[in-house]
Structures are given as structure tokens and as C-alpha cells.
Amino acid sequence: MASLMFSSHATVFVEDPTYFLAIGILRDDIGLNIVPERSRQLIELARKFNVLLFADDVYNLLHYDDTCSHAPPRLLAYDNKDDAEYKGHVISNGSFSKIFAPGIRLGWIESGDRIIKLLKKSATVVSAGCFNQFTAEVIATSLRLGLQQRHLHNLNSVYSTRVKSVAQKLRKNLPECVTFEVPRGGYFFWLQMPDGALAEKVAKDVYDLHKIRILPGNRCSPTGQCRNCIRISFAHYEEPVLLDAAQKLSDVITKHVAGIVANVEKTD
């Protein structure tokens, strides 16, 4: 199923087809859209093998595509209730910690009636801790008053500006062999250095020199791949701080990559 979301492969082998965790229509690390046809095919597979799809849609409402004024459809939207094969194979998980404030530990789940009825009967709901009632009332009031909607609109505007500014800074200062896509949603840039480059080394150097923290790509991979990739966030700091950090990171990456290229040329 993962190959269906991220490659052109059509055949998927699953040892234990019980559930599948999807990271959302806006892929967290690279902020790109999964095309609608892939989403439809994923739904078809879930129905065929009776697999429950859990979609982590916490970033879905954060979108910065100038060609579209609204968020892209979630995977849940493709599990159409009007289809003859519909049984409710998708759970969509949302969170206010990404669109209201990080300290708000409150979210929501959307799914078919079958799943919702099971959740309502769960021990967590009826006895073991129950829901976060106070925070839920605060959020409900913000929704009724339109405060959350205005805040979300402001976040999208601010983040969109940051994305464009940081992208421009990176393009100007990174070597051509380091590539990235401009995020259309989420919190992160995903930088890809040439093969042989080590993101862990860049992370250590940029922290030792400038106290800037980045996330090496291998920590985003369950198999430790993407060792030449870097994830950076633009969500927390204001634009001047981000641009200064982007410049310093670019300098460290440029030096690291130059060493890799020099070693390759010596080998040749």
C-alpha cells in the first residue's frame, strides 16, 4: 500500500492485512499532495483486503498552494458512502495542536458509523480518563465565535510567506546538487543532498557552530534510509530568525557537500 502512495508500483504484498497507517494527503515531511488517483486506488485495496486505513491528517488544513483556496481532500473523502462497496475503511485523525496551539492536547476523529460506534463503547470513553472536557469547551467556543477559523487563516498566510522566503534563501545559497520541493502544506522543508552526504554530520556541525537543530532524514525512516536528507521546520521562529538559520545551514551544507564531491573526483 505504501508503494501505491509514493511510487508507480501497482502490486502490494501484505503479510498481516489488518490496518495501514497513512501520513496524510499532505505528506508530512515534504509537503506534497498525493494525487487523487492514488487515493482512490488505496481505497479500492482497503476494501478488497478489508484493511483499516488510519490517516494522520493533522497538517491537512495547513496549505500554501496559491492555485487553490481550500485544503486538498483527505483520504476519507475518497471512501464514498454512496459506493456499493462502502463499509467505512478510513479513520481520519485531526489535531488542534497544529492549528490552534501546541499546548492544546485535543483532537478529533472522523470515520464511518461502524468505527464511531466502536469508539463510543470503548473503555477510554466510558471510564478510563474520558475526554478532555474543559479544553473541548474552550475549542468549541472558539469555533462558534469564528476565532479558530480566523486564526487558521492567519497561520496559512504567515506560513505561506515564510515558506516563500526560506525557499528563496535556500535556492540562492545551496549548491545545485542539493534539491528540495517548496512545501505546499505542513511544517517542514525536506532537503536532499547528493549520495554519500551524511545528514548526521551536517546536524552535528550546524549545532556545534551555530546552535541550530535540524533533523537528519534517517530519523524519519523506519529503516534508517534517507541518510543524505534533512528535515527543517519553519513553523516556530519568525522570518528573520529563519532566514539567518537558513543561511548558516546552507554554508555548513555547502562545505560538507564540497568535501563529498572532492572525494568522488579523487576516486574517479
Assess contact for 18 and 49: CB atoms under 8 A: no
Average of per-residue pLDDT across 106-115: 93
Quote the distance between the C-alpha of residue 65 and its chain's center.
15
Q: pLDDT at position 210, please?
A: 98
Instruction: Give the whole-angstrom CA distance, residue 113 versus residue 89.
Output: 11
Kindly state the average pLDDT of the residues 219-224: 86
Give me the helices (H) in the chain, please.
2-6, 36-49, 113-120, 123-126, 133-144, 147-173, 199-210, 239-267
HSE-up of residue 161 (Cα within 13 Å, Cβ side): 9
**CA atoms lying within 13 Å on the CB side of residue 47:** 16
C-alpha pair distances (Å), 130 with each of 59, 79, 166, 219, 247: 25, 29, 42, 33, 47
Q: How far apart are CA 251 and CA 202, in angstroms?
A: 10
Domain 149-267 has CATH 3.90.1150.10: yes
pLDDT band at 214 (very low <50, low <70, confident <90, very high): very high
User: How would residue 124 be classed by pLDDT, with cut points 50, 70 and 90?
Assistant: confident
Statement: residue 26 has pLDDT above 50: no
Local confidence band at 260 (pLDDT 50, 70, 90 cut-offs): confident
Length of the chain measured in residues: 268
Residues contacting 43, CB < 8 A, separation 6+: 53, 75, 78, 79, 89, 90
Question: Which carries the bigger pLDDT value, residue 27 or residue 195?
Answer: 195
Phi-psi region of 261 (alpha: psi -120 to 50; beta: other; left: phi over 0): alpha
Mean pLDDT of 11-23: 52
pTM across the whole model = 0.83
The CATH class, in words, for 2-145 is: alpha beta
Q: 13: pLDDT confidence band, cut at 50, 70 and 90?
A: very low
Average pLDDT over residues 29-39: 64
The model's confidence at residue 25, banded by pLDDT at 50, 70 and 90, is very low
Model confidence at 267: pLDDT above 90: no
Please provide residue 73's backbone torsions phi and psi, each rounded to the nearest 5 degrees.
-60, 140
**Maximal C-alpha separation, the chain:** 67
Structural domain boundaries of the chain? Answer: 2-145, 149-267
CA distance linking residue 99 with residue 184, whole number of Å = 16
When the pLDDT of each residue in the chain is averaged and rounded to a whole number, the result is 86
Q: C-alpha cell of 256?
A: 560538507
Query: Is residue 93 a contact partner of residue 53, using CB atoms and an 8 Å limit?
Result: no
Distance in angstroms (rounded) separating the CA atoms of residues 96 and 104: 6
Q: Are 142 and 45 in contact (CB under 8 A)?
A: no
Three cell numbers written together for 15: 503479510
